[in-house]
Chains A and B, each alone.
Chain A
Amino acid sequence: MSLPSSAPAAPILELDGISKRFGPVVANRRIQLKVYPGEIHAVLGENGAGKSTLMSILAGRYRPDTGRILLDGQPVSFASPAQALARGIGMVYQRFMLVDALSVVENLLLGHARGRFRLDIDAACRKIASFSQAYGLAVDPRKTVRQLSMGERQRVEILKLLLRQARILIFDEPTAVLAPPEVESFFRVLRRLSRKGHTILFITHKLEEVLQMAQRISIMRQGALVATLTPRQVSSRRELARLMVGREIVLNVHKQPSNAGEVILAAEGLRARDDTGQVLFEDIRLHLKKGEILALTGVAGNGQSPLAAALAGMPPAFEGRITYRGRPFENSRWQRRPKPNMVYIPEDRHTTASVGPLSLTDNFLLTRLKNFRRQAHLARGRARLATGDILTRYGINAPAGPQSLARQLSGGNLQKFILARELDRRPDVIIAESPTSGLDVRATEEIWRLLLQQREQAGVLLVSGDLREVLALADRVAVMFRGRILATLSTARAEQVARIGLLMAGVPEKANRHAIEA
């Protein structure tokens, strides 16, 4: 590897004292960073460390408050992403910037087709094909973006930048939405781009990726750049994690073997379609036992979310039968039935699970109303005390106690509050959807502990696409692909764990077409 530390090459990009604040929050603090031509440079940090802000400044989305950006040694300043792109800096955001209703070729023509009035779709397709070939970015230019997998959409984003002659490509958490095999092919693309002289910057918080891919690693913590090193200088993942978090952390929650009891929730032959007739999920058979954590995993959009919602008694309407504590329920009766001992933690903690402009006490009352009212009268004083009580017991950091507004809480604290609110009523079934998405390591650890504790008296259905989380918590894993459960595997058996990734990508396996019930 030609490493810049020994190479005499001049940096292609240099950040000199970049600072950026949003209101009272300092997102970036006097950042110094050099990026060399052709390297793959990882920017590692926890959520909220300021990585995305820094990269967005580079890509022209934000303007820095202070500091300079030097491109090829010349100071530059960008008023818009288009200006940055004109100078060869392009970014692929976590949320892909594609118009779903348009075709691939139309998306690629957007923004630089202004030569002639008439669009020459055929010529554009030929040009795209030649780029696809050269960089190993296979995608059908005439398909509508809506029909593409996440991996294909990412390739379209990369093609978009390449067609505009980007030399520096920035990726924000590029592997977050990809299935493991897609990640592999994405990495191959990265290497090929780098070999062809493109400079790659990618944001991540996944240590494995950094060690596998990066030629240099910059680590950010609380808005500051704390170190830039090469993988050789890193002695262990633990050290990398320590640099990232600033303290010794072990992301290992101690899990006792499960002590599963009777089946508490079971589903038989569930299926549902959305408004447009697309299958959301079908042929679903699963059972959840008391005392275990069952994970429902898969790449986002393969039916896990609607299935979890249906199990929790929310829309979509479904066909099939759900058995709860030995009593069978048909679809509509299940949805109408009150479920005092079942809790549902939706993925979107900001808009589905809580109401931002209301106080924590009011948010507490949203799901706990029954215990705090007599006819129309609301026992607010008692509710406030109860809210204060869970804040202390669960160690939730709220600026103004029970009177804080939900939107004032950080993501981690809000999630803890929501969990606390629900767990406090001692449920026997917990359905939690991506409970730690977007949370930092510390908050993740605490949420995991809370869920593991619940295993004592309840069955937990964990819906998560994060394999790390699934393996840390679950006793059994049901893998979903295109609306079906492909297999249910035991996390205690290594040879079964190894298959999860392939199953998530829908790679068919004859051997376990019939679910293995652990």
Chain B
Amino acid sequence: MNELMDDRELMRRIAAKEPEALEQVYDRYERAIYSFAYRIVHDTMAAEEVVQELFLRVWNNAERYDRSQGKLSTWMFTIARNIAVDMLRRKASRAVADPVGDEALQVLPDTGADVEQEVAMNFERQRIREAMLELREEQQQVIESIYFQGLTQHEVSEKFSIPLGTVKSRVRLAIRQLHGKLAEAVKGGNAYE
């Protein structure tokens, strides 16, 4: 769909070092990426650092993005997660989070984007949240531990004292269930702005 074309065109322009193209991508994904990074690192400065590192990589490696890697948003979220998880692991000896008061400060009323766009985006997000909530609790737990906390399957097995095979099957079933629920969205576009 257009989003893909748009993504590819934007990345082509970024590879050609057009700052406006990078800014366009930045504007489109800033909040989503920042919120995602913050969800992982639980620290505003660290989250900003993740976003910065991500955009440095986008700017310097735009030519490496190709369609087989999926939508640009997926590519960027993957990189952002890798950066954030690496950061978590480097700080592993420290407490993961100390968002004292940070949450309250940050939680967000929407800033005035286009109303229709906002409604569409909220609808999309709502659908994904619902799909997540429909997962069984133990499935949500493995998703949370692996995807948002950066643990490996072995670490999850150890942390929760559950067999590795159980961790694997929970992940497998969870992803398949999400796939079923979100199949339509996977084929179509979505709103990140």
Q: Do A and B come from one complex?
A: no
A residues lining the B interface (CB < 8 Å): none
Q: List chain B positions with a Cβ less than 8 A from chain A.
A: none
